[in-house]
Amino acid sequence: MTNRSYSLVLETPAASPEVTHRHYLNKLSVETDVADVYYDMKHGLNDFLLIDVRSEKAYAECHVAGAINLPSNQISAETTASFSKDQLIVVYCWSPACNGGTKGAARLSGLGFKVKEMLGGIEYWRKEGNEVEGTHVETAPMVG
């Protein structure tokens, strides 16, 4: 093991509080999490469209109750024509290890929609014991 005479944490100086504050506000403007989505839905504050961007098969087996399915690779002007650009869209995929939600959010925002990615995906939704629907809610894989 190498004995270092400098700090790896302090090697790169920390940003100013103003820059840090802006960074985290920007991050929150494009991300949400399972607990916040669940809370809003439970309290009738779900004036957002929740989209599962996984495959049709994965969605059919198990998805967040109330979510619609639009696989990320099928997002286009045609498949989103009925969506309102005034309504926030929240997308999710499998888990923190999946970038399908990120791809979906990029495609939707590229089409002019306001969008946030739900961190944790269906894996953390289920781990937190929240309601799911589908043909195999008990046996569907946790990750894809």
Rounded alpha-carbon distances, angstroms, from residue 40 to 36, 37, 78: 6, 5, 29
Residue 111 domain-assigned?
yes
CA 84 to chain centre: 19
Residue 61 domain-assigned?
yes
pTM: predicted TM-score of the whole model, two decimal places? 0.91
Q: Where residue 59 sits, what CATH number does that domain have?
A: 3.40.250.10
In which order are the strands placed within the sheet that holds 31-33?
31-33, 115-119, 88-92, 48-52, 68-69
In the chain, the number of structural domains is 1
Residue 117 domain-assigned?
yes
Residue 23 domain-assigned?
no
Residue 2 domain-assigned?
no
Domain span holding position 47 = 31-133
114-139, pLDDT tens digit by residue? 999 999 999 999 999 999 999 998 88
69-107, pLDDT tens digit by residue? 999 999 999 999 999 999 999 999 999 999 999 999 999
